[in-house]
């Protein structure tokens, strides 16, 4: 009998012939998204005990106790597939937002809704417009559809909507607006959005990614759901990962016209939102205290950081989200 010592085996390697021709350079060029390292990994790597993670913009308060209770209550039923239509969660969201269930699609995080959008709306040679820098998944997903990416530099750390509308061409299918923008924390205002949408032809879908919606305090922030009546070519993304503290469960959603939602449902895997995520998200919606506590914590944290960064003469961009962009004047990696 031959005994294989797996420990000594070299990593498997070898170039396959899966992708040929043009695709090879396009797909291999895509940079893999590098998420912030998990706390446990940093502890192991550097032999540390107490680690506070600043990447990924998670909620340090943790999830709502109501969500934890709901997960416990449901845990013994995970032998069943989840409700593929997420009936109760969609119903509760619809009631909260004043919309019908046909206006909502749930995703395995809003990340998944972004990939459903690019999968349905972008084909080879199409163009997607986005800010630079902005949330990285827009670019990665667009490239996976072999679309061209028009990256429009920010102006004063804000999305430059006039330049983004100038970038529209006959090939444009999607425009991504991260509002607040990740990584700057800046917003674009209601007036700016309304003005911008006048330049966008009905055949183009504009994505308003509002992952940090609940944290925004600026009165000029657009109430994008009100724009849906007049603009059926927009979709709004929100998530339970940030203020609701459910990042580990992966649940986010898109809000749009029934036509857009129907199209996205064609690409949605049947059980994309797991049952624990559904019950936890549902319970979280009922916990306004947790949301208010998270808002206060971020408000206090921002004041603390603003005053101490000023004291240390470190420049920063005032933020509408739960993260902040600061200038450290050295290579971030070294710091
Ligand atoms: C702007 C933006 N959109 C989407 C996401 C993805 O969030 P989710 O956890 O819902 O997939 C993030 C996460 O960091 C984000 O910053």
pLDDT one-digit tens code per residue, 5-20? 666 677 777 767 777 7
Residue matched to tokens 């021709």: 21
Residue matched to tokens 């209550």: 73
What would the pLDDT profile of 271-323 be if each residue is shown by its tens digit? 999 999 999 999 999 999 999 999 999 999 999 999 999 999 999 999 999 99
Measured from the CB, is residue 109 less than 6 Å from ligand 1?
Answer: yes
Instruction: Give pTM, 2 decimals.
Output: 0.93
Query: Vertex 213, ends 119 and 217: CA angle to 5°?
Result: 155
What residue ranges do the domains of the chain occupy? 65-285
Q: Is the pLDDT of residue 95 over 80?
A: yes
What would the pLDDT profile of 240-267 be if each residue is shown by its tens digit? 999 999 999 999 999 999 999 999 999 9
Indicate which atom in ligand 1 lies nearest the CA of residue 242.
9
Q: Rounded to the nearest 10 degrees, what angle do helices 136-144 and 22-29 cross at?
A: 160
Measured from the CB, is residue 115 less than 6 Å from ligand 1?
Answer: no
Residue 13: predicted pLDDT: 74
Q: Is the pLDDT of residue 22 over 90?
A: no
Indicate which atom in ligand 1 lies nearest the CA of residue 135.
1
CA of 44 to the centre of ligand 1 (A): 26
Indicate which atom in ligand 1 lies nearest the CA of residue 113.
11
Residue 7: predicted pLDDT: 65
Give the closest residue to 173 by CA, choosing from 233, 227, 254, 131: 233
β-strand pairing of 205-209 with 234-239: parallel
Give me the DSSP letters along 235-247: EEEEESSSTT--G
Q: Where do runs of H (alpha helix) occur along 107-252?
A: 110-121, 136-144, 161-166, 190-198, 224-227
Nearest-CA residue for atom 2 of ligand 1: 211
Residue matched to tokens 């949408």: 197
Residue 72's pLDDT band (boundaries 50, 70, 90)?
very high
Q: Which helix (H) or strand (E) holds 206?
A: strand 205-209
CA of 110 to the centre of ligand 1 (A): 6
| 62: three-class secondary structure by DSSP | coil
Residue 54: predicted pLDDT: 85
Considering the four listed CATH numbers 3.40.50.970, 3.40.190.10, 3.40.30.10, 3.40.640.10, the one that applies to the domain covering 65-285 is 3.40.640.10
Tokens of 95: 């009631």
| 27: three-class secondary structure by DSSP | helix
CA of 236 to the centre of ligand 1 (A): 13
pLDDT more than 70, % of the chain: 95
Nearest-CA residue for atom 16 of ligand 1: 182
* Distance of alpha carbon 6 from alpha carbon 4, whole angstroms: 6
Measured from the CB, is residue 247 less than 6 Å from ligand 1?
Answer: yes
Cα→Cα distances 102→85, 91, 119, 250, 306, Å: 11, 10, 20, 21, 42
Measured from the CB, is residue 241 less than 6 Å from ligand 1?
Answer: yes
Measured from the CB, is residue 107 less than 6 Å from ligand 1?
Answer: no
């Amino acid at each position: 009998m031959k005994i294989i010592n797996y420990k000594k085996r070299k990593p498997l390697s070898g170039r396959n012939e899966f992708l040929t021709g043009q695709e090879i350079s396009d797909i291999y060029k895509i940079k893999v998204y590098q998420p912030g390292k998990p706390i446990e990994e940093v502890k192991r790597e550097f032999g540390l005990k107490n680690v506070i993670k600043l990447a990924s913009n998670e909620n340090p308060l943790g999830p709502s106790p109501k969500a934890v209770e709901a997960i416990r209550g449901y845990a013994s039923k995970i032998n069943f597939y989840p409700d593929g239509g997420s009936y109760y969660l969609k119903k509760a969201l619809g009631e909260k937002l004043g919309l019908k269930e046909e206006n909502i699609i749930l995703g395995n995080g809003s990340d998944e809704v972004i990939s459903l959008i690019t999968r349905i709306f972008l084909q080879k040679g199409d163009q997607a417009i986005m800010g630079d820098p902005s949330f990285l998944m827009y670019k990665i997903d667009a490239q996976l559809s072999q679309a061209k990416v028009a990256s429009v530099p920010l102006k004063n750390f804000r999305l430059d909507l006039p330049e983004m509308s100038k970038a529209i061409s006959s090939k444009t299918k999607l425009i991504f607006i991260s509002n607040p923008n990740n990584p700057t924390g800046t917003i674009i205002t209601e007036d700016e959005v309304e003005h911008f949408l006048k330049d966008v032809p009905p055949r183009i879908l504009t994505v308003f990614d509002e992952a940090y919606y609940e944290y925004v305090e600026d009165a000029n922030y657009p109430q994008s759901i009100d724009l849906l009546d007049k603009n059926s070519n927009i979709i709004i993304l929100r998530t339970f990962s940030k203020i609701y503290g459910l990042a580990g469960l992966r649940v986010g959603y898109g809000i749009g016209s029934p036509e857009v939602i129907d199209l996205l449902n064609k690409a949605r895997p049947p059980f994309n939102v797991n049952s624990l995520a559904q019950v936890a998200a549902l319970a979280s919606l009922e916990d306004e205290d947790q949301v208010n506590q998270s808002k206060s914590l971020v408000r206090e944290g921002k004041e603390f950081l603003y005053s101490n960064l000023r004291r240390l003469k470190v420049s920063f961009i005032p933020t509408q989200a739960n993260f902040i962009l600061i200038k450290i004047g050295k290579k971030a990696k070294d710091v």
